[in-house]
Amino acid sequence: MSRHDHGVLLAIESSCDETAAAVLDRREILSNVVASQAELHTPYGGVVPEVAARHHLTTINAVIDRALDDAGRTLDSIDAVAVTERPGLIGALLVGVATAKGLAWSRGLPLIPVDHLRGHIHATWLAPLALDPPYVSLVASGGHTRLDRVSADGEVTLLGETLDDAAGEAIDKGARMLGLGYPGGAALDRLAADGDRDAYEFPVGLAGRDTLDFSFAGVKTALLYLLRDIGTPGPRAADVAASYQEAVMRPLAERLLRAAEKAGARALSIGGGVAANSRLRALVTEGAEAAGIRVAIPPISLCTDNAAMIGAAAYFTDRVPWPGYLAQDAVATAPPGGVAT
């Protein structure tokens, strides 16, 4: 792993339910277009893989055109194409990878196959945050929750991870139990803003243990039981939401800060959809300031899935020269260690 100047990049992301394209000039985001399919999947209470793949297929060319337009560029001024190759829904990934390969090949450009998790880990590299590694990173999304140390040349070492549900999964299931729809992270955040986070006591997974791992299965079950006991929370819904949110966000913030202190890190970063959470952002900011550690928190548009972060991760990823990537495949799973090196 090392740093690479790929020039002006077209980056493409299609691993789940967002069709996204961005144009970047090194750290500068020239455009960042995201077409979310979330509403399409709402009636099913989760992402339906075939629906996602089909929708990517009908949307991706328009999203790329829009990204080029917004950036005031044409394909003539693109030096390389970056694309999410793993992990994710295989049909969804394939649409992005096939599109990227086609564009890159037809223009004689190199291709940079990027790990989606690296996108979340490196989003803070982009201007204006422009955080250079080394730092300690928390990525919390719908599918992943992990703490990593990121070395100066971008090498990622796992420090802790969830033993069961991802934080976003716990948040989405809680939101659904509270009748907030799917995916309910942002709605739960808004409801919790008016609530008392000390109103209800929820168990914090692995509390009191000297670990940097996480567990969110218990807090989810506790919410199920609480709602069974009290029935529809009615006017207390905001208190339930705030207390539940606290039990998910507090261990994320505390273990991130502990990991940073243990590693002697001078900076920390958060990423992934859950990093959009206002309570997590407040806890991490307060804690880092108290510990004298620099904190880099991307704008919400760079926390949830987007293609600009894939362009950032490309900076730390080797390119495959034209035309050697024609056999390049999408891969559903994460590599051993969780993140591609």
Contact 33, 307 (CB under 8 A): yes
Smallest gap from Cβ 180 to ligand KG4, in A, equals: 10
Nearest to Zn ion of 59, 141 (CB atom): 141
The answer to whether 102 and 57 have CB atoms below 8 angstroms apart is no
Dihedral (C-alpha) 21, 27, 31, 34: value to the nearest 10 degrees?
40
CB of 256 to ligand KG4, least distance (A): 15
Residue 171 binds which one of ligand KG4, Zn ion, none, with CB within 5 to 8 A depending on kind?
Answer: ligand KG4
Q: Given the rule CB under 6 A, which of 90-98, 212-220, 225-233, 269-277 is the region that contacts ligand KG4? A: 269-277
Q: Report helix, strand or coil for 167.
A: helix
52-91 residues in contact with ligand KG4 (CB under 6 A) are none
Distance between CA 89 and CA 79 in Å, rounded? 28
**DSSP H stretches of helix in 15-83:** 38-41, 49-71
Supply the angle between the helices 237-262 and 278-291 in degrees, to the nearest 10. Answer: 30
Residue 47 host element (H or E): none
Q: Which of 109/248 has CB closer to Zn ion? A: 248
CB of 117 to ligand KG4, least distance (A): 9
Least Å distance between CB 120 and Zn ion? 6
Site for Zn ion in 129-158 (CB under 5 A): 141
State yes or no: residue 17 binds Zn ion (CB under 5 A): no
Out of Zn ion, ligand KG4, none, what residue 205 binds, judged by CB under 5 to 8 A for its kind, is: none
Shortest Cβ distance from residue 134 to Zn ion (Å)?
Answer: 23
The label of the residue with tokens 């990593």 reads: 148
- In the complex, least distance from residue 114 CB atom to Zn ion, rounded to whole angstroms: 12
Are residues 101 and 325 in contact, defined by beta-carbon separation less than 8 angstroms?
yes
Q: Which of 91, 96, 142, 287 binds ligand KG4 (CB under 6 A)?
A: 142
Which residue type does 224 have? L
Q: What are the phi and psi torsion angles at 18 (to 5°)?
A: -120, 125
Residue from 160, 174, 273, 311 binding ligand KG4 (CB under 6 A):
273
Q: Which residue in the block uniquely carries the two structure tokens 């090196």?
A: 341
- For the chain, how many residues are written? 341
Cβ 205 vs Cβ 215: under 8 Å: yes
Q: Shortest approach of Zn ion to residue 292 CB, angstroms?
A: 30
Nearer to ligand KG4, 101 or 281 (CB): 281
Nearer to Zn ion, 33 or 240 (CB): 33
- Least distance (Å) from ligand KG4 to the CB of residue 274? 4
**Binding residue for ligand KG4, selected from 274, 288, 307, 330, defined by CB under 6 A:** 274
165 belongs to the binding site for ligand KG4 (CB under 6 A): no
Instruction: For residue 267, list its beta bridge partners.
Output: 294
The phi, psi pair for 252, rounded to 5°, reads -60, -50
Interaction of residue 305 with Zn ion, rule CB under 5 A: yes
Q: Using CB atoms, what's the residue nearest to ligand KG4?
A: 273
Taking CB within 5 to 8 Å according to partner kind, which of ligand KG4, Zn ion, none is near residue 29? none
Q: Does residue number 162 form part of the binding site for ligand KG4 (CB under 6 A)?
A: no
- The C-alpha atoms of residue 234 and residue 166 are separated, in whole angstroms, by 28
* Residue type at position 270: I
Report the distance separating Cα 319 and Cα 136, nearest Å.
25
Token pair listed for 157: 């070492």
**Contact set with Zn ion (CB under 5 A):** 141, 305
**Contact set with ligand KG4 (CB under 6 A):** 16, 141-143, 168, 171-172, 183, 185-186, 189, 272-274, 276-277, 304-305
